[in-house]
Chains A and B, each alone.
Chain A
């Protein structure tokens, strides 16, 4: 069934209502969409809730590239991946959430690896500031922390 549909187009609708027309082969790189298509519970327009147009466009770009370049050299794809995931933290987390929700394994792996690269080699202090929004907390509660440190009896 699904193979006869190949090269057909699907319409993906983002959470904020924008529509993207993508070849089905690209869309089904998301396992979640693939399941919908296979179960025939999808009409031509597939709603993609929780993912806004901006992020959805990025996910589609990634899937397209991976679909086209299946025959291409793996190293090319690697360069593309590393450039693709090189974004600000906010976009990265949105992408991770989207990739997870839509179940796009290649994208999720590339993104997670990239965040790990950012964490790698950093001090605990630095990690807290960069990834936990720790700066403000530290200023506001430095007294509080010191109380804990001083009260604590280290065995």
Chain B
């Protein structure tokens, strides 16, 4: 059975104003079953609303002096297609509520046409799902529009250490231990699917996971970059790129190469058809050159010479470098190291233009201090125009809005720190109804 997952519903229930509990599970399983089996309770409700509406206008005629009390019913005046247009502008949490208002609204938001229209109306601000690195798969999602946190349960996370990637409403999880078990889900509708295991090495030392959803066709690609040390050789690493295509439902391995002096890592991102991943120097070298970025075009899959020779250097010596897709441009967030590594003096955000990094923001000092015990490790994640940064040591969450160039703390997170060494982490995803794995 499904569970009630978003707290607004629970709140409505607590106040006794929501209509029907059995509606919710159907709702969360993507509505399609609902046609033709709407319940009689809602039906009665709705008819009565209409009757009373007519009665209301009637009583108003006989009662001229009392015009202030007249409530104009949106529901009576507007036809379905206009109501649909209005509801399509709502942020996602409000849509769930609108579905509880009456039968007609509920039918509108569950129609396929509504879902389709909605996907074109608004670009959603991504939510940030924060969880504590314990074995409980429970966490809270931060909604930056309504400035609220919702308690959400993610399906299928059995252990706390998973690799996570997300794109346009889909989230991909890969088991950290075996690095082969892969699940894709939509955290809002709870639709979930296990993919075939990726080919290539099991138990690779490093793997970088990325997913990219096509906004028009809703097909998606999942990529895994695996690297494993060549046995008996400290200098050379086997690197392989595996790509899953949802259209053909198959994995391919477009590239295998041996890197010398470099190894792959756990960080990758697909932007505009290009797979980017970070590589790390295995043999000393100057600190600025400890990282590199590799761009691999997934569509033509051609390589010109060896990967490492075409790597793009990172702008400065970094820790916790993370890649993100901000409106199909590659961005990187990282801690800027001082001369002694492990101590950072700030956090910067860069965007890749061609082969050049352009710094677009640096965290202001007061926010930087606000993290409290900043053990120079932090998580960051972003989508569309929003970047989230969070220290592993505390549930504080900072947002940077690219369009307004504005830093902002989120509302206080309901996750609290229960013991000193408790760690927090998270990822961001777009809340979308229309997309299914």
Contacts of B82 in A (CB 8 A): 96-97, 100, 112
Tell me the complex Cα distance, A100–B74, Å. 15
- A133 CA / B57 CA spacing, docked (Å): 10
Residues A87-103 near B (CB distance < 8 A): 89-90, 93, 96-97, 100
Shortest CB-to-CB span from A10 to chain B, Å, is: 26
In the complex, the answer to whether A116 meets B71 with C-beta atoms within 8 Å is no
Hey, which chain A residues are within 8 Å of B55, CB to CB? 136
B9 CB → nearest A CB, Å: 9
Number of interface residues of B (CB under 8 A): 44
Complex CA gap A62/B15 in Å reads: 42
- Nearest opposing residue in chain A for B104, CB measure: A132
**Contact of B72 with A127 in the complex, beta carbons under 8 Å:** no
Are B49 and A154 in contact, with the CB atoms below 8 A?
no
B77 touches A119 (CB 8 A): no
Asked if B94 and A97 sit within 8 Å, CB to CB, the answer is: no
B86 touches A123 (CB 8 A): no
Q: Does B146 reach chain A (CB closer than 8 Å)?
A: yes
Q: Is the CB of B74 within 8 A of A89?
A: yes
Interface string of B92-103 (1 = CB under 8 A from A): 001001101110
Residues of A within 8 A of B49 (CB): 132-134, 137
A132-B73 CB under 8 A given contacts A116-B90, A144-B48: yes
Known: A89-B72, A124-B12, A141-B48. A119 touches B86 (CB 8 A): yes
The answer to whether residues A93 and B21 also contact, given A119-B98, A128-B102, A140-B52 and a CB cut-off of 8 A, is no
Q: Check: A129 CB closer than 8 A to any chain B CB.
A: yes
Task: Flag whether B78 is at the interface (Cβ < 8 A).
Answer: yes
B75 within 8 Å of A by Cβ? Answer: yes
- Residue from A97, A128, A129 having most chain B Cβ neighbours under 10 A: A128
* A1 contacts B by Cβ under 8 Å: no
A132 to chain B, nearest CB (A): 5
Pair A127/B86 contact, Cβ less than 8 Å: no
Taking CB atoms, residues of chain A closer than 8 Å to B87 are 116, 119
Does A131 lie at the interface of the complex (its beta carbon under 8 Å from any beta carbon of B)? Answer: yes
Min C-beta distance of B270 to chain A, whole Å: 32
Is B309 interfacial (CB 8 A cutoff)? no
How distant is the Cα of A135 from the Cα of B45 in the complex, in angstroms? 14
Let me know if A137 and B146 touch, CB within 8 A.
no
- Contact of A93 with B56 in the complex, beta carbons under 8 Å: no
CB of B261 within 8 A of chain A? no
Inter-subunit contact A112/B89 (CB<8 Å)? yes
Instruction: Say yes or no for A54: interface residue by CB 8 A criterion.
Output: no
A45 within 8 A of B: no
Asked if B71 and A108 sit within 8 Å, CB to CB, the answer is no
- Taking CB atoms, residues of chain B closer than 8 Å to A100 are 81-82
B101 cross-chain contacts in A, Cβ below 8 A: 124, 127-128, 131-132
Name the interface residues of A72-127: CB closer than 8 Å to any CB of B.
Answer: 89-90, 93, 96-97, 100, 108, 112-113, 115-117, 119-125, 127
Q: In the complex, A123 Cα to B85 Cα: how many Å?
A: 20
The complex places the Cα of A97 from the Cα of B53 at a distance, in Å, of 19
Whose C-beta in chain B lies nearest to the C-beta of A145? Answer: B45
What is the chain B residue whose CB lies nearest that of A100?
B82
- Report whether A120 and B90 are in contact in the complex, using a CB–CB cutoff of 8 Å: yes
Which of A125, A135, A154 is within 8 Å of B71, CB to CB? Answer: A135
A117 and B49 CA atoms in complex are apart in Å by: 23
Instruction: Name the B residues within 8 Å of A97 (CB-CB).
Output: 77-78, 82
Interface mask (B121-159 → A, CB under 8 Å = 1, otherwise 0): 000000000000000000000000110000000000000
15 new A-B contacts at CB < 8 Å, known A119-B98, A135-B71, A141-B48: A89-B72, A93-B72, A96-B78, A100-B82, A112-B88, A113-B89, A116-B89, A120-B90, A124-B12, A127-B98, A131-B101, A133-B71, A134-B49, A136-B56, A137-B49
- B binding-site residues for A, Cβ under 8 Å: 11-12, 15, 17-22, 41, 44-45, 48-49, 52-53, 55-56, 70-78, 81-82, 85-91, 94, 97-98, 100-102, 145-146
- 15 cross-chain CB contacts under 8 A: A93-B72, A96-B78, A96-B86, A120-B146, A122-B94, A124-B12, A124-B100, A131-B101, A132-B101, A133-B49, A134-B49, A148-B45, A154-B20, A154-B22, A155-B21
Q: Which 10 A-B pairs have the closest CB atoms?
A: A116-B89, A133-B71, A137-B52, A133-B73, A131-B74, A125-B17, A112-B86, A90-B72, A93-B77, A112-B85
